[in-house]
Every structure is written in structure tokens, then in C-alpha cells.
Amino acid sequence: MADKAYQVIVRGRFAPLDAGQRAALLARADEHDVFAARFTEEGTVTYERSLLGFTFRCVVRATAEDAAEVVTGRAEALAAAAVRGLGADHGDLTSVATDLDSIKVRPRGR
């Protein structure tokens, strides 16, 4: 079984935050802005200072036989754990995955 890699973006909303959670997230907001976004196996969480929602980017490895739901399910579990690691909870997760084999990078013409 050949391994495949997928770039997955998970978007979600923060669950209602208390004052302490809000202050902690705001104190670290600069570390989690869009410029910190990376597709890694651990994933990265980005969010804006409005604290309405977040975006999680990761790379998920799977077999060729794994369905898209398996890939996005793994990514959503990673996203939930990452948000809990920030001291918050989540709701309303939606995901989109791209098979890295299907991405064609063409060099620019001279």
C-alpha cells in the first residue's frame, strides 16, 4: 500500500470563550497570524484577533485506499487537539483536502 500525502485545511469557530481564555488567545495572536501558517504533519493554527474562528493547516498521510472522510477526520482530530492546546474549545469544523500528487508546479517561463 503506497502512502499518499494530503494538504488539509480545517476551518472552525471557537466555542464561547471566558475572559481568561480570550486574554490568553489575544496575548499569543501574533504567533498565530496567517504568516505563521504552514502545512506540517503537526499542523498550525491561525486566527485573527476577533477570535471568531480559526484555520488549521496540516499534512495527513494516508494509504491510497483511505477515503476522503478518513483523511479529513484525522485532520479534524488534529485541529481539535491543537485548539484545546491553546486553552479553548471548538465548534463547526469544515475541511477540504488536496492530494499532493495532483498539484502540478510549473516553473515560470523566462
The structure's pTM equals 0.85
- Helix residue ranges per DSSP H, 4-58: 19-27
Domain coordinates in residue numbering, the chain: 1-88
At 32 the pLDDT is 94
Q: What is the pLDDT of residue 1?
A: 41
Per-residue confidence (pLDDT) for residue 64, from 0 to 100: 77
Q: How far apart are CA 106 and CA 104, in angstroms?
A: 6
Q: What is the mean pLDDT of each run of 10 residues along the chain (110 residues)?
A: 82 96 95 91 94 95 86 95 96 88 61
d(CA 59, CA 72): 10
Question: What local confidence, expressed as pLDDT, does residue 63 receive?
Answer: 86
